[in-house]
A and B are shown apart, each in its own frame.
Chain A
Amino acid sequence: MKRTIILFVVIVLVLVSIAVWLLGTSGRFNFVDMFQFGVILVVVGFALFLGLKRVGSLKRGEPAEDELSRRILQKTAAISYYISLYMWVFMIYLKDRVTMDTEQLLGTGILAMAVTFGVVWLVISRRGIRNE
């Protein structure tokens, strides 16, 4: 239950940060800002989906997580880590060839890591874990 609450607190914090950012830019958005905003919403939506899934499990009297969900998370984290390493190497390569602020590049990289995690989690959740 504690982890579920923490998840929802993080979601709220991210949404509040987005709101502060929107107020700060005073309506001046470029394509990269809008794209990042969209991706953030997708990631928050995914986190919300996970949180609601956990709440549903608790309401049914099931544990919020069990051996399968923990193993899926571990495998997801491991694969996401490897993918992210290569992604950051690519971002460093791209840094000198693209006109982008360092902050934007960092933000894009962090978002890409979150998206990678979500996609890998979805794939592993569908395929399952066998013979490990």
Chain B
Amino acid sequence: MTQDELAQKVNVRRETILFLEKNKYNPSLKLAHDLASLFQVPIEELFIFEEKGEISG
């Protein structure tokens, strides 16, 4: 799946997907949930909450 296709499926811009992949953006809970639902995995498998409060994808 390309970034464009993924972005369209979760109704965000391609730039948002790019930023998520580069760890430059922490998604909202809704977006995290939508992505997890799309890939049929738990949110924890896609996004890791680190001790210092940052979320890495």
Number of chain B interface residues as a range = 20 to 34
B7 close to chain A: CB less than 8 A: yes
Of residues 10 to 48 in B, which have CB atoms within 8 Å of A's CB atoms?
A: 11-16, 19, 22-28, 31
Task: Report the separation of the CA atoms of residues A130 and B50 in the bound assembly, to the nearest whole angstrom.
Answer: 12
Nearest residue in A to B10 (C-beta to C-beta)?
A: A66
Min Cβ gap A105→B in Å is 38
* Interface size, chain A (Cβ < 8 Å): 16
- Cβ-defined contact, B14 with A62, below 8 A: yes
Q: Is the CB of A62 within 8 A of B8?
A: yes
Is B31 a contact partner of A67 (Cβ separation < 8 A)? yes
B53 to chain A, nearest CB (A): 6
Q: In the complex the two chains form, is A63's CB within 8 Å of B24's CB? A: no
Question: Which 6 A-B residue pairings sit nearest by Cβ, starting from the closest?
Answer: A128-B24, A68-B16, A66-B12, A62-B13, A131-B54, A66-B13
B interface residues (Cβ-Cβ under 8 A, vs A) = 4, 7-8, 11-16, 19, 22-28, 31, 53-55
